[in-house]
Amino acid sequence: MATKPPENDKPATPRRPAQKPDAAAQPPSDAADAPTKGEASRARAVPMDPKPTGLPAPSAAANAQRPVDADAEPRTAGEPTPRVAVEPSSPDEGRAPSGPARPASTPAPAQSQTPIEAERPSPEPTPEPTEATTTPPEFWPVDEHQVAEAVEEIPEPPAYPPHASLFIVHIAPEMAPVAKVGGLADVVFGLTRELAIRGNHVEIILPKYDTLRYDHIFELHEVFHDLWVPWYEAAIHCTVYFGFVHGRKCFFIEPHSQDDFFNRGSIYGFPDDVLRYAFFSRAAIEFLWRAGKHPDIIHCHDWQTALVPVYLYEIYQRLGMTHPRICLTIHNFAHQGVIGGELLRATGLHQPERFFDHHRLGDNRHPNALNLLKGGVVYANFVTTVSPRYAFETKDQGQGFGLEPTLHAHQVKYGGVVNGIDYDVWNPEIDHHLPVRYNLDSIDGKYDDKRALRHRLMLADNEKPIVAFIGRLDPQKGLELVRHAIFYTLERGGQFVLLGSSPDPAINADFWGLKRMLNDSPDCHLEIGFDDDLAHLIYAGADMMLVPSRFEPCGLTQLIALRYATIPIVRAIGGLADTVFDKDHSTRPLHERNGYVFEHYDQAGLESALGRGLACYYQYPEHFRELMKNAMRADYSWNRPGEDYLNIYDYIRDK
């Protein structure tokens, strides 16, 4: 690999003047290094929409959540902390130094321009909502009382508070459609667009994989040629490229190394994955520093970029990067990036006695291992996961895969925000994959798509309901119950369609055997693989969508199904419980109920929900049609999650 001696042993002069060090942003350190009370700032209040959201705004008295001192005792009772959609914090935790609040209208500190940094836009003005009026033609008979009632029933738009324009950088291992493995890629794609629409300057840093979809990258060109990233006792030469991905500003880092970190034909699945992404995280923050970029917020995703806050507070803050604050989003706790002590020598962190400490990166289950995701939780200024229910389950119900003690210790800066879906992609009203498009007022078009689906898959054209499953054939998705649902649906007079595949050859072989068994059935089709065009048609043509997961952080399948008026049949777990409300047993108003839910992971539980759905389709078709309309009315766009994340950014950025 191309190497030269690392330059970070001495503080170097950034390309633009360093920000004045902010004492409240200090990293976890020994008690002697801890900031005093006068050095931290208090969070400002951000009013929220009166309707409940996935993550209420922090209170005015909430305090900055700086990474805690590993050598100090947990903080004791103190000031209130932000309300999140999980269990409230213990009154014995959460005190932080306080100081005067900064006014809500104060813009982020001005940053000097560099050749590769676009000008940060000014915040867009928020229009004042106007009262709806009704002016009938002169020849209409007018009933003033009816007019007044009609005006009162028109819902007002959400009264979101104005936000200062922020400079936000997302550092992620995936982003649809250029580099996609799972739902993380869709989240980065949708959230960054929503943040940019709201007047923020948003940039994304990704690895330059050899498998990138270059047909979706526009104006790709080199912007930083001589980036040297410290690695082991030397440094690796990197080149940084810039391009637009459907309007999003993206930087791609390409290392020139004999290790070929990102030139391996696929994104994941290699023995050195932890070291590969430890290097990418170091390269990303080295690029920000060398380019003179000082964003207000750095938003990291999953274990692959969880070392970014560690690098920031242990190395780069001392070199002048005192302005950025970090939000870490954990999409799945099952993957945490566990590795041995070699990581410290590779990354230049050294000091094993410091980082193997139980309060920093030391893995909770393996005393001689380091845990990247745990380090991200400890060092980040705020940690989110992808639904409030999943936040509760990971902290209090044993689904944190060993991180439960760490989440409890940092619960005052931990919460859940439900993901959204991109309605420019998943919307039956504009979906170019469909033979017939439809919306709430033309919902009968769905039945034309149902006939088209049957024709494509050579299913019998009859009055039976179609139950579908779309997703990875992974044990997490409840494959035993999927298999049982196929036969149960056929026995109860329905049709079944499956689209999915597995990286596990044994699972694929099992479903290929099932496909051959049912190949002659006119009411069943199993498609082992993935076809995006067919996925859109199944969402539109199916009547019910099965999601019987063992655990589900958020889930996008049920959100897409709702948009297409396809009734979800789900297990009450994680994000499924936050987004699907049972037609018969939910405590929600009737117009908010949108599916069928079961509690226990067994065949009886599945049959209780799926059986009720099939019975309603046959016996109460008018009720089923109302359920379809309720599903389409639900708003799971990025609008509300975008507001929740901006509230989090506002909460941490002035600390």
Residues with Cβ < 8 Å from 516, sequence gap 6 or more? none
Question: Could you give the angle at the alpha carbon of 573 between the alpha carbons of 568 and 574, nearest 5°?
Answer: 100
Backbone region of residue 348 per phi and psi (left: phi > 0; alpha: psi in -120 to 50; beta: other values): left
- The verdict on 467 and 530 lying in the same domain is yes
Residue pair 331/301 in contact by the 8 Å Cβ criterion: yes
- The verdict on 467 and 504 lying in the same domain is yes
- The verdict on 464 and 344 lying in the same domain is no
Radius of gyration of the chain (CA): 26
pLDDT at res. 72: 40
Flag whether 341 is in a domain. Answer: yes
Beta strand ranges found along 457-551 (DSSP E): 466-470, 495-500, 524-528, 544-547
Helix (H, G, I), strand (E, B) or coil at 152: helix
- The verdict on 283 and 314 lying in the same domain is yes
Helices in 543-638 by DSSP H: which ranges?
Answer: 557-563, 574-579, 603-619, 621-633
Neighbours of 16 (CB within 10 A): 16
CA dihedral in degrees (480, 485, 488, 493; nearest 10)?
-160
Instruction: Say which amino acid occupies 224.
Output: F
Q: Is the dihedral of CA 350, 354, 360, 365 positive or negative?
A: positive
Q: Has 395 been labeled as part of a binding site?
A: no
Flag whether 23 is in a domain. Answer: no
Flag whether 144 is in a domain. Answer: no
- The verdict on 456 and 506 lying in the same domain is yes
Alpha carbon distance 35, 124 (integer Å): 36
Question: Could you give the angle at the alpha carbon of 188 between the alpha carbons of 184 and 192, nearest 5°?
Answer: 165
Q: Give the pair of three-digit tokens for residue 396.
A: 């209090």
DSSP annotation of 96: -
Rounded mean pLDDT for each run of 10 residues along the chain, 655 residues in total: 47 40 43 38 38 40 41 40 41 37 39 40 44 40 46 51 87 96 92 96 98 96 96 96 97 96 95 97 98 97 98 96 97 95 94 94 94 98 97 96 96 97 94 97 97 97 97 94 98 97 93 95 95 96 98 95 98 97 96 97 97 98 97 96 97 85
- The verdict on 334 and 218 lying in the same domain is yes
pLDDT at res. 155: 52
* CATH number, residue 233: 3.40.50.2000
Q: Give the pair of three-digit tokens for residue 13.
A: 């002069």
Residues with Cβ < 8 Å from 111, sequence gap 6 or more? 16, 117, 120, 167, 293, 294
Instruction: Say which amino acid occupies 401.
Output: F
Flag whether 601 is in a domain. Answer: yes
- The verdict on 532 and 629 lying in the same domain is yes
Flag whether 227 is in a domain. Answer: yes
Q: Is the peptide bond before 405 cis (omega within 30 degrees of 0)?
A: no
- The verdict on 326 and 459 lying in the same domain is no
Alpha carbon distance 385, 399 (integer Å): 12
In 3D space, the residue among 550, 551, 568 whose CA is nearest the CA of residue 559 turns out to be 568
**C-alpha distances in Å from residue 528, one per residue of 57, 235, 515, 541:** 44, 44, 8, 19
Helix (H, G, I), strand (E, B) or coil at 234: strand
Q: What total number of domains does the chain contain?
A: 2
Residue pair 497/525 in contact by the 8 Å Cβ criterion: yes
Exposure class string for 487-522: b at 16+ Cβ within 10 A, else e? ebbbebebbbbbbbbbeeeebbeebeebeeebeeee
Q: Are strands 370-371 and 466-470 parallel, antiparallel or unpaired?
A: unpaired
Flag whether 119 is in a domain. Answer: no
Residues with Cβ < 8 Å from 197, sequence gap 6 or more? 642
In 3D space, the residue among 372, 388, 357 whose CA is nearest the CA of residue 308 turns out to be 372
Q: Give the domain range for residue 333.
A: 167-420+645-654
DSSP annotation of 59: P
Residue pair 16/112 in contact by the 8 Å Cβ criterion: yes
Alpha carbon distance 492, 606 (integer Å): 13
- The verdict on 521 and 566 lying in the same domain is yes
- The verdict on 248 and 394 lying in the same domain is yes
Residue pair 372/406 in contact by the 8 Å Cβ criterion: no
Helix (H, G, I), strand (E, B) or coil at 156: coil
- The verdict on 206 and 316 lying in the same domain is yes
Alpha carbon distance 75, 365 (integer Å): 24
Flag whether 426 is in a domain. Answer: no
- The verdict on 600 and 453 lying in the same domain is yes
Q: Give the pair of three-digit tokens for residue 345.
A: 């020598």
Phi, psi at 309, each rounded to 5°:
-65, -30
Residues with Cβ < 8 Å from 277, sequence gap 6 or more? 173, 303, 304, 305, 307, 337, 372
pLDDT at res. 156: 55
- SS3 string, 98-128, reads CCCCCCCCCCCCCCCCCCCCCCCCCCCCCCC
Can you give the pTM of this predicted structure?
0.75
pLDDT at res. 153: 52
Phi, psi at 256, each rounded to 5°:
-105, 90
User: Tokens 């309060």 identify what position?
Assistant: 359
Flag whether 281 is in a domain. Answer: yes
